[in-house]
Structure 1
Amino acid sequence: MKTVYDFVTVISFACLVLTYFMFTEGGLKVLAHFMLPAAAFAIANQVGNVALQRGYLWLDALAVVLIVAGIGYTYIVVRH
């Protein structure tokens, strides 16, 4: 773990797993909803690392949007 995106996405994923176990009743249907933000965090990590290597500001923005969208979607799923 070398970049800020590595730390942020791994912490977000760990919080996602804890949220699944603490605030839901489990089940495959709920787990399927949690797979989307997990994929968003993985993609955001890769996009953010490429942005840092190549210096593309728009990729940084895309990575941040993916992280925020993953957190927001998790909040919506848990709230319902």
Structure 2
Amino acid sequence: MTNPFDILTVACFLLVVLAFFLWTDRDSQTLLHLAICGIAFAVANQLGNRGAPELALILIAAGGVYALIILVNGNQAGRGGR
């Protein structure tokens, strides 16, 4: 049975993967940081499926904001300040 949290978290995960391949240098440090976002989305999916939608939405938002911070600041830091 498909839950709205299944669709939302998989879409967020796919966006993070797409962003990694399109807008990063594909280094392992950025990948590990974005893996934290993937874990956050997986936990949020479980929370949403088990009846804690408020916590799930907070965790999805936190994972998305963290991914955005990593993608914006990670590219600048990865270039050595160039």
**What band does the TM-score fall into relative to the shorter chain?**
0.7 to 0.9
- 5 Å matches for 1:10-21? 10-21=10-21
How many residues matched?
Answer: 73
- Secondary structure of 1:26's counterpart equals coil
Identity %: 37
If the length of structure 2 is used for normalisation, what is the TM-score? 0.86
The alpha-carbon deviation at position 27 of structure 1 amounts to: 1.2
Show structure 1 runs of 4+ deviating over 6 A: none
RMSD: 0.8
Q: Provide Cα deviations, 1:46-80, integer angstroms capped at 9, x if missing partner.
A: 110000xxxxxxx2110000000010001000111
Cα distance in 1 between the residues matched to 2:72 and 2:28? 17
**Bigger proportion of residues as helix:** 1
Aligned counterpart, 1:72: 65
- 5 Å matches for 1:1-80? 2-51=2-51, 59-80=52-73
If the length of structure 1 is used for normalisation, what is the TM-score? 0.88
Q: Provide Cα deviations, 1:21-63, integer angstroms capped at 9, x if missing partner.
A: 0010011111111011100000000110000xxxxxxx21100
Give 5+ residue unaligned stretches, structure 1. 52-58
Give 5+ residue unaligned stretches, structure 2. 74-82
